[in-house]
Structures are given as C-alpha cells and as structure tokens.
Chains A and B, each alone.
Chain A
C-alpha cells in the first residue's frame, strides 16, 4: 500500500496541470474562479476541447477511443479536472450510456453511438423517473407497445430528465410487458428526441436554474433496433448503471473546492474587526467539515483503487453517495452562514455581493437535490442494510 505517485505519474500530473493552465478558455476560467453556473454551451465547448486532447473520457478503453490510461493516471486526470473547477461534463453519455453500450450494446449500436458520445456531437439525457415512479423506480409506466412493424410506440411521461432541453438523445426505461412482475416487464430503449410525439418542457429548480425537464411521449414511434439488451431485460441494465452513478455522486473534488471557497469567504468576512477565518469557533467548524471530507476522500481512493484492480465495488463505495452528498450540502450551508447578510441576496447584478459569493445561494438551494437524486440516501441505506449488512426484510 502506497499513496505516493511515481516520478512518471508526477510528470503526467504536471502535463495535465500545464495543459489546464494554458488551455482553459478565459470565459470558462473566470467562471471557474468563482464557481459560477456553466450553461450547456460552455459545458460542450469544454467537452470538445478535452475531446481534441484525447482526455474527455479517462475511463474509456482505447478500443472505443479512450486514452488508454492506467488507473493512477486516470485518477490523476479526473482529480485535476475536478480541482480546476472546469465545467462538469454531462455524465449521461460519457459515464452512463456509453459504458453501458460497451457492455450490453450490439456492434451496430456501438458503432452508431459511441463515437458521437465521445466527440460531443450528440448529447444524451436520462429517462428513468416518472411522476409516480421515484424511489420505487420499478413501478414506471411509460408504455412501449410493439406495432408489429418493427417499432415500439411510446406513450407516457418521464421527469427529472436533466438537461433534456439541450440533449439529442434520451435513454429510457420503458414498460414492454404490462402483465409481468414489475421488474420483469421493463426494457432499455434509446430514443431520438427529435422523434415526432416527444416534447421536452424545462422547469426551474429552487436554485433558480433550469437543470431539469419533463419529457412527454405521445404516440412516438421508435425503431426496435434501439433496444439495448434483451426485451424485458432492462432492469438488470438499469442496476448496472446505478453503480456508475453512485461513485460519480461522491463529488469529492466539488466538495474540496467548496470548502476552500468557505475558507476564502471566511477570510474576507469580518466580525469584531477580524476575519472570521481567525475566529476559533468558525475555524474548528470548518476543520470539522474538512476532516469529514478527508475521510470520504480516502474512502473514495480505496474504492477507486479497488475498481482499478477489477474488483466489484466494495462496501466502501456504497457510502460515497450518502456521505458525498451530505458533505456537499454542509459545505454550502457553512458558506451561507459565513456570508451573513450577503446570503440573503438572490440573482442580482454584479457588485451587490462579492463575486466569490455570487453563486453560493443558488447552489445552496440546488444542492438539496444531491441527497435525493441517484437514489435517495434513504433508498441507499435500504440497499446497504440488505445487501451488505444482511439484515432481514
């Protein structure tokens, strides 16, 4: 066991840092500096820059256009990108449906979809939740009926379809057998969002940004060649995907940035004529949160190291989602507390509050979602209780 990097790995890290220092466009750099909200145009601009460098999908194997990095380099690249504060790439293609197609897709599907996921020429979103299928996802109802002419006809609704308004494709869990036991009648289907009968309606979150959409299907005709895996076999695929999502939501890099920003805000905010950062009570409060993060970071390293060796995600990976989402929320809560009156301001012209504090209130609100999405933390605990602790049901 060794936590230090080899000279070659350190050289690679320097290469990444140098590239980042030179290649981040000024508009993105300015926003990264204050952790402002990136719109989809900026996200995709960054996606394409990384694509041209060959680093857009660190975890993809070389045969599908990945950079063919070993575990340590993949780890370094991912961490440096997170720490630089550059736009978080849309995960739906790169992290979710891409790897899933590699595992379950046909050769034709891989050839058709993977290159455009990688290049960013096609943007994906996820169609899982429905108004009445949240934590109980398997009760989903979006009907896909065989029309006898090689198509499915879709009728129903998805919701929480993140960034569907910017997406070209959606991967959906659909009901292909209404009579089977609920998990057994589900299939995994790829749908072109330009299909007639598909409508996307964005809605605002409490953070004031349009992150989510409702997506409606009214007699939308989808060719059966877009089915991934066996008919009625979608639930198994969905479960494989949730594993990918779980490590994604640990968000260790985001929390590290958030805690650093907390310290910078605390350095600027004054009480009794001195920076809050020098107030022992506030300081130990921040320290407590940072220690929580270090514990999670170390648990994350252990999980990543295990995954790199090809082990199934160990018990430590299941805690990442729960704790990562909590810590991210707590770091923004602490920032709001330290901001004092400035925490009251809501989407004003620049200058009302310092740039560093401009986006905190929005993210503080939006981040209430982190303990809910990707399977709420309560659902995660049900899963751990059953699968890891072996408690009876």
Chain B
C-alpha cells in the first residue's frame, strides 16, 4: 500500500500541466464554443503525439498499456483549463468500449488511428427514456444473414458531431434493462441511414442526436460476441464516471485558487475582503470539499478497473456522489465569493461552473449513484461481524 506517484507519473503530471497551460488556456474553450466543431484536429494530434490518447490501450492495439490512474492524471490537468478536446468521449468511453468488446483486428483498426490523433470516436449509448440506466436500450439490431440492420435513436452522443466512427449500443436480444442481449457496433458516421444532428452543450462542448433508420451493417461491424456487451457498457460508463471525478478535481482546484486570489486582492469597506471571517470560513469549506472530492476521485481511479463489480461500483458511486456534493458547493461558492462579476459571461468562473454541472449529470447523477451505492450488497454485508475497512483490501 502506497500513495506516491511513480517517477513516470510525476513526469506525466508535469508535462500535462505545462501543456494545457500553454497550448489550451481557458480562453481557448471560450473561443471555440461557437465553432462548428468546438475543438481542433491540430490539438488532438498533439495530444496523440504526447501519448495521452493511447494510455489506456494495449500495445497490440497501438497503445501504451497504462492504468486508468495514468489517464486520470491527464484528466485532472484537462479540468484545470477546460481543454475542449473529446478525451472522455473518444478515449475513455468509445475507446474503452472497443478495447473491452472488440477482437484484436477490430481494435487495431479503430484504436490505431485514434491513438495517433488522426481520428476520433464517440459512444452512442443514451436514449430518450434511458435516463442513467446503461442497459435501458431500445435501439434494435436485427440479423440479416451474417449482416445487421440497426434502428433507433441515440441522444447526447458526446463528440457524435465530429467522430468518424460511432460505437452504437443496440439490443440484439433480451428486453430493455437486461444485461444479456446488448451488442456494440462500429458505425461509420457517413453510412446511409445515419443522421447526425449536431447540438451544443452548456459547457461549450458539442454533441449529437443520432438517428439510425434501418442502417445496414456488415458482419465485421459487430464488436466481439453478439449480445455480450452489457457488462462492458456498465464498466465503460463507470470509467466515464471516474473520469468525470478526475476532471472535476482539476476544476475544483482551479476555482478554489481563483477564489482565494480574489479574496486576497478585492477591496471593500477599505480592506481586502479576505480579512472577513465569514468569507475565510467559506473558502475553507471549499478547500475541504476539494480535498474530499480529490480523495474519492483517487479511490475511484484505483478501483474502477477492479474485476469485482461490487468493489468497482461501490468506489465509483461513492466518488460520483462526492463529486456532485463537492463540485456543486465549490463552483457555486466560487461564484458567490466573486460577487456580481462571477455571473458575467466574460469571467471564467462561469465556464467552470457549467462544465461541473455537465460532469455531475453525465454517467449517473448524485441521486442515481446514491441509490446504487445504497442497494449494492456491500452496503448491508457483514453487519454482524466487526466493522472492516473496505477502502483497502
């Protein structure tokens, strides 16, 4: 048991911190939010050159065989300046889905170019009535000999507006809510029958509503075994939740620093407002929430790849609830302590507030994860034996 980052990890943090500060300061997302794409191919390629896009993937697939913790270190830095490139959408969600479901040949074909930064992917999972249930899938995949015909509507497909390939979750068997019968398909966004309607999200990012009207796909579009991707989808959305926690940590750290800077410089009543005890204590509460959010984000990063699903879900749900509680408090109070300037569009704090809302809502919000946590077997396990820590096994 140790909590030190390795030498390589420390270097990764340093490189990432200086890269985002220089290459993608926060005004970049402000400039790109009204653009059609919202991020740039050039920056994506640079992230590929730095190796960030391949951290999670095996060497056979063209990646570097790193851990989720490594990716979370990059994500935390991405959060500090709100880098708009689709790291969560393309790498964490779609990329991990491919890595976990697809055969080696499919992995090479889909992940290879993405890891270099020449393509990007998107995972189309959510539907109008699915809310946060990964298995509530109505989109149908019907066999046509060895080929497939896919019909359905996907909503809020992150990076769906720009991805070359959509990874689509569809039901080839079972009923909505079943773990069995879920299949993943790699769908070229230009396939006839695919309609991609670009939309904007609150945080200046872009996504798409995707309609699949009887889209005909070849046999090799199916990733891995038919009907076996339900568990993969659950794992991948937990990776998304853990990623949101990591990025959220970067956001909280940053707005806390912005706020304490402001308290040290802003004067009212002839003194620095940071001398007022009410504001000092509020800032300390923000600091406490930031540290607790960071602590559970680390817990989630370490446990999200655990083969034991209960262990994984316990840690991820705890972290996602804590992110919601901490992230909401820290960003709200950051605006409050900035006063009126905090609600102007020209001030950066609003951009962080918006991104935090998006991260809290994605991959299961506070209520969803609170309920999931409370209903896991771990919640009522071993009540009659001495209390045992579950954070360390």
Q: How far is the CB of B170 from chain A (nearest CB, A)?
A: 32
Identify which of A264, A301, A388 contacts B383 (C-beta below 8 A): A264
The segment out of A48-56, A126-134, A183-191, A302-310 that lies at the interface is A302-310
B373 touches A291 (CB 8 A): yes
User: Which A residues, 274 to 300, have Cβ-Cβ distances below 8 Å to chain B?
Assistant: 277, 280, 283-284, 286-288, 290-292, 294-299
The segment out of B28-36, B123-131, B384-392 that lies at the interface is B384-392
B318 touches A294 (CB 8 A): yes
Q: How far is the CB of B308 from chain A (nearest CB, A)?
A: 12
With the chains together, A5 CA to B292 CA distance in Å?
A: 23
Q: List A contacts of B374 (CB < 8 A).
A: 280, 283-284, 286-287
What 1/0 flags go to B243-266 for Cβ under 8 Å of A?
000000000000000001001100
The verdict on B371 contacting chain A, using a C-beta distance below 8 Å, is: yes
Q: List B contacts of A322 (CB < 8 A).
A: 288
The segment out of B98-106, B114-122, B183-191, B276-284 that lies at the interface is B276-284
Identify which of B1, B277, B293 contacts A4 (C-beta below 8 A): B1
With the chains together, A316 CA to B277 CA distance in Å?
A: 21
The verdict on A378 contacting chain B, using a C-beta distance below 8 Å, is: yes
A384 touches B302 (CB 8 A): no
Q: List A contacts of B228 (CB < 8 A).
A: none
B383 touches A323 (CB 8 A): no
What 1/0 flags go to B268-303 for Cβ under 8 Å of A?
000010110100110111011001110110110011
Identify which of B69, B284, B296, B302 contacts A294 (C-beta below 8 A): B296
Interchain Cβ contacts under 8 Å between A and B, 24 examples: A3-B1, A3-B299, A83-B386, A83-B389, A256-B387, A257-B387, A284-B374, A290-B318, A294-B390, A298-B295, A298-B296, A301-B295, A302-B295, A319-B291, A378-B281, A382-B277, A388-B287, A389-B283, A389-B287, A391-B263, A391-B274, A391-B275, A392-B272, A393-B275
B371 touches A284 (CB 8 A): yes
The verdict on A368 contacting chain B, using a C-beta distance below 8 Å, is: no
User: Which B residues, 353 to 393, have Cβ-Cβ distances below 8 Å to chain A?
Assistant: 370-371, 373-375, 379-380, 383-384, 386-393
The verdict on B158 contacting chain A, using a C-beta distance below 8 Å, is: no
Q: How far is the CB of A281 from chain B (nearest CB, A)?
A: 10
**CB contact under 8 A between A391 and B280, given known A3-B302, A284-B370, A294-B299:** yes
The verdict on B322 contacting chain A, using a C-beta distance below 8 Å, is: yes
B383 touches A1 (CB 8 A): no
Q: How far is the CB of B228 from chain A (nearest CB, A)?
A: 29
B275 touches A263 (CB 8 A): no
Q: How far is the CB of A285 from chain B (nearest CB, A)?
A: 9
Q: List B contacts of A297 (CB < 8 A).
A: 389, 391
Q: How far is the CB of A325 from chain B (nearest CB, A)?
A: 12
B318 touches A384 (CB 8 A): no
With the chains together, A9 CA to B384 CA distance in Å?
A: 25
With the chains together, A296 CA to B299 CA distance in Å?
A: 11
The segment out of B2-10, B51-59, B194-202 that lies at the interface is B2-10
With the chains together, A283 CA to B370 CA distance in Å?
A: 10
The verdict on B93 contacting chain A, using a C-beta distance below 8 Å, is: no
User: Which A residues, 362 to 393, have Cβ-Cβ distances below 8 Å to chain B?
Assistant: 378, 381-382, 384-385, 388-393
Q: List A contacts of B283 (CB < 8 A).
A: 385, 389, 391
What 1/0 flags go to B136-180 for Cβ under 8 Å of A?
000000000000000000000000000000000000000000000
With the chains together, A306 CA to B1 CA distance in Å?
A: 12
The verdict on B97 contacting chain A, using a C-beta distance below 8 Å, is: no
The verdict on A315 contacting chain B, using a C-beta distance below 8 Å, is: yes
Identify which of B6, B288, B393 contacts A5 (C-beta below 8 A): B393
Q: How far is the CB of B370 from chain A (nearest CB, A)?
A: 5
The verdict on A84 contacting chain B, using a C-beta distance below 8 Å, is: yes
Q: List B contacts of A110 (CB < 8 A).
A: none
Q: List B contacts of A72 (CB < 8 A).
A: 1-2
Q: List B contacts of A79 (CB < 8 A).
A: 389
A381 touches B281 (CB 8 A): yes
B318 touches A295 (CB 8 A): yes
The verdict on A267 contacting chain B, using a C-beta distance below 8 Å, is: yes
Q: List A contacts of B291 (CB < 8 A).
A: 299, 315-316, 319
Identify which of B281, B302, B318 contacts A1 (C-beta below 8 A): B302
Identify which of A291, A382, A389 contacts B318 (C-beta below 8 A): A291
CB closest chain-A residue, reference B391:
A297
Top 9 A-B pairs ranked by shortest CB distance?
A305-B3, A287-B374, A298-B295, A385-B280, A295-B292, A391-B274, A299-B295, A381-B284, A260-B387
A319 touches B383 (CB 8 A): no
Additional A-B contacts beyond A283-B379, A292-B292, A381-B280 (6; CB < 8 A)? A1-B9, A294-B299, A299-B291, A315-B287, A378-B281, A381-B284
B264 touches A390 (CB 8 A): yes
Identify which of B264, B292, B322 contacts A391 (C-beta below 8 A): B264
Identify which of B69, B274, B386 contacts A85 (C-beta below 8 A): B386
A392 touches B264 (CB 8 A): yes
The verdict on A346 contacting chain B, using a C-beta distance below 8 Å, is: no
